[in-house]
């Protein structure tokens, strides 16, 4: 885990899901995945919004030309755990197909315009993931 992510995770947990700095006005969750090859637990802070009862996250990696490792992990192991605020719960990750993918991405852009820049920086189609709480 990068030092940057580690600091964000510590701040998130110390402040009941809130962080300052660059992410001060961004809704973040902590996504727990298992490594695609190693099976080891990984935790990543990720921006989200709620669509009906699903949490929606974007595998933007800041507009990099490759997907983030956590995306590959959840494709192999779609059963994840999510921390929002002070709550942690199990969820199932799914990748919506078109046109829903684009509709959800555009909704994220309307909430957080930085995602427009990410889309413009890369030629890849940035994946959208829904997280549905397990009953």
CATH code for the domain in which residue 13 is found = 2.30.110.10
High-pLDDT (> 70) share of the chain, %: 99
Give the up-direction half-sphere exposure of residue 9: CA atoms within 13 A in the CB hemisphere: 15
Give yes or no for a contact between 29 and 48, defined as CB atoms under 8 angstroms apart. yes
Q: Is the pTM of this model over 0.85?
A: yes
Task: Look at residues 123, 5, 112, 129 and name the one whose alpha carbon lies nearest to residue 64.
Answer: 123
Residue 118's pLDDT band, with cuts at 50, 70 and 90, is: very high
How many folded domains does the chain comprise?
Answer: 1
Task: Look at residues 20, 49, 63, 58 and name the one whose alpha carbon lies nearest to residue 111.
Answer: 49
User: Minimum mean pLDDT among 18-22, 25-29, 31-35: which range?
Assistant: 18-22
Residue range(s) defining the domain that contains residue 55: 3-133
- What digits encode the pLDDT tens for the residues 55-97? 999 999 999 999 999 999 999 999 999 999 999 999 999 999 9
Task: Look at residues 95, 116, 98 and name the one whose alpha carbon lies nearest to residue 107.
Answer: 116
Judged against a pLDDT cut of 70, whether residue 1 lies above it is answered with no
Query: Mean pLDDT across the stretch 88-115?
Result: 97
Query: Mean pLDDT across the stretch 17-23?
Result: 89
Give the up-direction half-sphere exposure of residue 127: CA atoms within 13 A in the CB hemisphere: 18
Tell me, rounded to whole angstroms, the distance of Cα 71 from its chain centroid. Answer: 9
């Amino acid at each position: 885990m990068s030092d940057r992510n580690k600091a964000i995770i510590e701040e998130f947990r110390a402040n009941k899901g809130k962080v300052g700095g660059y992410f001060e006005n961004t809704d973040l969750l902590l996504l727990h995945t298992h490594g695609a090859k190693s099976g080891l637990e990984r935790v990543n802070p990720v921006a989200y919004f709620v669509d009906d009862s699903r949490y929606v996250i974007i595998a933007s990696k800041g507009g990099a030309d490759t997907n983030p490792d956590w995306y590959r992990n959840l494709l192999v192991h779609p059963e994840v755990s999510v921390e929002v605020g002070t709550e942690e719960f199990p969820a199932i990750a799914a990748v919506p197909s078109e046109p829903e993918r684009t509709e959800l991405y555009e909704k994220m852009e309307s909430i957080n315009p930085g995602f427009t820049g990410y889309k413009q920086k890369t030629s890849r189609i940035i994946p959208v993931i829904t997280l549905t709480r397990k009953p």
